């Protein structure tokens, strides 16, 4: 048995979807445990591109059970649209391969309206939210006024909760933000119809996982976003609204921590970030543009261009500590091909000091500058490489240096977007 967590070790967009898709072949079920449809996983299979927002990447493999845990906030319209898109692509989606926790909270239209109104009001001080209603939904969850999946199956209770929430939300939208109010009936009609579609998929994810783990089968926990977008441990307030670190996998799926065997962190060979917030190694020059264009660094959910910069080992080492990483998986090594000299931030200088770890207070981090170590690049095309020894010498040196600075080994190196474009150094399930 092996129960593994795959987590993003930077600011999200590290390529977790491809890695989960790769590893899903070895497991019985894949679990998504936090976040919402502000995340997007892009996976290329046989030249076909799939973009998933809520459904775990394992859905692309026949015979795998995909679970959406209680820690996820679900926009039911987006979920149904995603299901229909997969069905149109010839991929089966049924209660036999997809289960949604009855206790997951629903993103409502008023969450989206509030999200957009707040960002608009902040002007230049905006955080860079996707406007999908994620934050306001988590607020209602914490405030105990949220509507959950199972509420869709009780019409009178759903209408009661919706009416109570709309009274408050419309007051805020009109009186504080100067926005238009929302009507109850169109929302009720839409969501109750969506509830009829989703009811066969709703279940007790925690109980299902307990049964699967009890029979010794493999489970893969799929995180969304990245460690440094964590609501507690990230670059607050430029973070997401959920806990993205590995420890939350247990809360967001309903399993005990003793059931987890290992945690692996996914990093890019460089660093990207979407939206606002400090980014110590950001490149605002032709090299940054080269990485952005060659790496296709545009959001799978929003299409927004990602900010690009050199690999930051202060970020990676903090993620190793916060998640208890047993190893790293590096994606997009091929994107660095053709850059004559590569830089890696090995430390920070902050007002004359060199902190031991990445500061997590905003002003302290903004005051930091990177201390770089330089590595020679390579010109050879590496997308066809499948063994470490066949990589150019400079690429090998780059990877060895990352391992040494991170303090944990590399398990997999991705050298292209395709499912088979990987170098397996140590298969995560080999000894489990």
CB burial class (10 A; 0-12, 13-18, 19+) of residue 63? exposed
Q: Catalytic annotation on 13?
A: yes
Token couple for 338: 């053709």
Q: Phi/psi at 48 (nearest 5 deg)?
A: -95, 135
Contact between residue 128 and residue 228 where contact means Cβ atoms under 8 Å apart = no
Pairwise CA distance, residues 199 & 264, whole Å: 34
Q: How many CA atoms lie within 13 A of 316 on its CB side?
A: 34
Pairwise CA distance, residues 192 & 151, whole Å: 9
Contact between residue 237 and residue 128 where contact means Cβ atoms under 8 Å apart = no
Compute how many other C-beta atoms are within 10 angstroms of the C-beta atom of residue 48: 10
Token couple for 320: 């190793």
Pairwise CA distance, residues 159 & 191, whole Å: 10
Compute how many other C-beta atoms are within 10 angstroms of the C-beta atom of residue 200: 12
Segments in 324-429 forming alpha helices (H): 362-366, 393-406
Q: Which residues contact 292 (CB under 8 A, 6 or more apart)?
A: 305, 306, 308
Q: Catalytic annotation on 353?
A: no
Number of helical H runs and strand E runs in the chain? 12, 19
Q: Supply angle C-alpha 365, 369, 371, rounded to 5.
A: 125
Contact between residue 351 and residue 367 where contact means Cβ atoms under 8 Å apart = yes
Q: Supply angle C-alpha 279, 281, 282, rounded to 5.
A: 65
Q: Phi/psi at 130 (nearest 5 deg)?
A: -75, -10
CB burial class (10 A; 0-12, 13-18, 19+) of residue 12? buried
> From residue 192, how far is each of 57, 203, 215, 315 by CA, in Å?
27, 18, 36, 44
Query: Catalytic one among 21, 41, 75, 228?
Result: 41
Give me the active site residues, please.
13, 41
């Amino acid at each position: 048995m092996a129960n593994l967590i795959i987590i993003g070790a930077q600011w999200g967009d590290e390529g977790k979807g491809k890695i989960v898709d790769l590893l899903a072949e070895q497991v019985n079920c894949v679990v998504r445990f936090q976040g919402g449809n502000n995340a997007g996983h892009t996976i290329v299979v046989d030249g076909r591109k799939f973009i998933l927002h809520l459904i775990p990447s394992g859905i692309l493999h026949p015979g795998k059970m995909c679970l959406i845990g209680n820690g996820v906030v679900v926009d039911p319209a987006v979920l149904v649209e995603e299901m229909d898109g997969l069905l149109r692509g010839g991929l089966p989606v049924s209660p036999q391969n997809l289960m949604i926790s009855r206790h997951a909270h629903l993103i409502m239209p008023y969450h989206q309206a509030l999200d957009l109104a707040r960002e608009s009001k902040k002007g230049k001080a905006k955080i860079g939210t996707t406007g999908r209603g994620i934050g306001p939904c988590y607020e209602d969850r914490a405030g105990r006024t949220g509507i959950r999946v199972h509420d869709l199956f009780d019409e009178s209770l759903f209408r009661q909760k919706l009416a109570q929430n709309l009274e408050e939300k419309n007051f805020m939208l009109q009186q504080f933000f100067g926005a238009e109010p929302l009507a109850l009936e169109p929302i009720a009609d839409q969501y109750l119809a969506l509830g009829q579609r989703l009811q066969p998929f709703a279940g007790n994810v925690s109980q299902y996982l307990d049964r699967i783990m009890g029979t010794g089968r493999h489970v893969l926990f799929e995180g969304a976003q990245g460690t440094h977008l964590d609501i507690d441990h990230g670059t607050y307030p430029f973070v997401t609204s959920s806990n993205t670190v590995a420890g939350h996998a247990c809360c967001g799926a309903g399993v005990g921590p003793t059931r987890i065997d290992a945690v692996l962190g996914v990093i890019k060979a460089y660093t990207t970030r979407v939206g606002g917030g400090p980014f110590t190694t950001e490149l605002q020059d032709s090299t940054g543009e080269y990485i952005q264009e060659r790496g296709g660094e545009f959001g799978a959910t929003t299409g927004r261009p990602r900010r690009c910069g050199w690999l930051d080992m202060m970020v990676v080492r903090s993620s190793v500590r916060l998640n208890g990483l047993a190893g790293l998986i590096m994606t997009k090594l091929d994107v660095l091909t053709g850059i004559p000299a590569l830089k890696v931030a090995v430390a920070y200088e902050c007002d004359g000091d060199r902190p031991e770890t990445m500061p997590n207070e905003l002003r302290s981090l903004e005051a930091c500058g990177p201390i770089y170590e330089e590595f020679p690049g390579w010109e050879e095309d590496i997308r066809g490489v499948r063994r470490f020894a066949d990589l150019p010498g400079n690429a090998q040196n780059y990877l060895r240096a990352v391992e040494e600075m991170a303090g944990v080994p590399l398990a997999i190196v991705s050298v292209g977007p395709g499912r088979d474009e990987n170098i397996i150094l140590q298969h995560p399930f080999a000894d489990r």
